[in-house]
Structure 1
Amino acid sequence: MEVMTGTVGMLAAAAAEEGRLFGLDPQLLHDAVLLGINIFILFLILSYLLFNPAREMLKKRREGIQSDLEHAEKVNADALAMKQEYEARLTDIHKEEEQILSQARRQAKLQEAEIISAAREEAVLIKDRARADIALERKKAMDEMKKEMISVASLMAGKVVSAQINTEVQDTLVEETLKEIGEDTWQSR
């Protein structure tokens, strides 16, 4: 290592004798400055040609992502609003369903009451008609029985009295017999 340190030291001493700065000659410094300026110019040109489009692409991508995020938030907000609207409509539908069912129940009860009332009225009418029919049949039966009794009484009286009594006397006898018998005695209850 001593050999190397000695060699570097000799080179530095030789450079100092020749008027060089840190062992650099003016041509090397001139080339280094020109190289630095060229690299700077190349950097500016490349940044304009390459970095600016890359920055623009990144900027557009950033804006696209931001736009997508905003769109996603808007869609999410719209979906949330639609969900709330759907839930509100569903609640309204359930309320309307309950109203319709309760109204149908009330109407069914009213119809039931009307049907029962109509049935009772019809039953009363049927009973009244049946009573009227029974009374009419009873009256017919009583009239027929009267006629039968009159004819039986006439036959009996006719046999008993056969030719001696005239028709006026016979009718009088039948009337008297009926009055004596009375209506209650020959009617069956």
Structure 2
Amino acid sequence: MVELIVTAINVFILFFLIGYLVSDMLSGMLTKRQERIADDINTARMSKEEALALKNDYEHRLADFESERADILENTRRKAAQMEERILLDGQQEADRVIARAKREAELKKTKLKEDVRHDMIMAASITACKLAAETLDDKKQAVYIQEMLDEMGESTWQN
């Protein structure tokens, strides 16, 4: 039993010496590990804060993008409506110009037609006068020549 007590004392002394000698080394390793863990925690906390800041910035940008998109769409719709109005107004003005030009042309053609009819009447009257002057005129022949002239010109000429 004495051996057992001596062995226990030796073991106790051995543990005490090992603890004394190794405790500084273990203490340094534990301190380094604690510092490394604290640095990792700080790095993780900073990364989390940066991620939250980036998330907030992204959400803010996304909200700004939606607002800007809506503004751009509204501006585009307004410009399209203005352009449509301008195109319709230009089209109406062009149609009015075409109609006015067509009316002027119709009036010019009508005037030209009247002049042509008048000229034809003068020519027919002159031919009839020449025929009448060449022949002796009596009432019967004069009526025949007038009837011929009217038949040649047609009734529609006199109705304009």
Does the pair score TM above 0.5? yes
In 1, Cα distance between the equivalents of 2:73 and 2:134?
Answer: 87
> Pick from 91, 114, 139: which aligns with 2:86?
114
Unpaired segments ≥5 residues, structure 2 = 137-156
User: Greater relative contact order: 1 or 2 (C-alpha under 8 angstroms, separation 6 or more)?
Assistant: 2
- The two structures, once aligned, show a CA RMSD in angstroms of 2.4
Q: Which AA in structure 2 matches 1:133?
A: E
In 2, Cα distance between the equivalents of 1:141 and 1:95?
Answer: 68
After TM superposition, the structure 1 = structure 2 runs for residues 89-104 of structure 1, keeping only pairs within 5 Å, are 89-104=61-76
Greater helix proportion? 2
How big is the shift at 1:48?
A: 4.4
Could you report, residue by residue, the CA deviation over 1:117-153 in whole angstroms, capped at 9, with x for unpaired residues? 0001011100000000101111111111111111011
Quote the residue 2:106 is aligned against.
Answer: 134
In 1, Cα distance between the equivalents of 2:13 and 2:76?
Answer: 92
Identity of aligned residues (%): 33
In 1, Cα distance between the equivalents of 2:24 and 2:126?
Answer: 146
How big is the shift at 1:70?
A: 1.1
Quote the residue 1:145 is aligned against.
Answer: 117
Q: TM-score, normalised by structure 1?
A: 0.64
Quote the residue 1:39 is aligned against.
Answer: 13
In 2, Cα distance between the equivalents of 1:186 and 1:121?
Answer: 39
How big is the shift at 1:163?
A: 7.1
Question: How many residues end up aligned between the 2 structures?
Answer: 133
Unpaired segments ≥5 residues, structure 1 = 1-27, 165-184
Quote the residue 1:162 is aligned against.
Answer: 134
In 1, Cα distance between the equivalents of 2:112 and 2:127?
Answer: 22
Q: Does 1:83 align with 2:55?
A: yes
> Pick from 80, 87, 95: which aligns with 1:123?
95
How big is the shift at 1:59?
A: 1.2
Could you report, residue by residue, the CA deviation over 1:71-97 in whole angstroms, capped at 9, with x for unpaired residues? 101101100110010010011011000
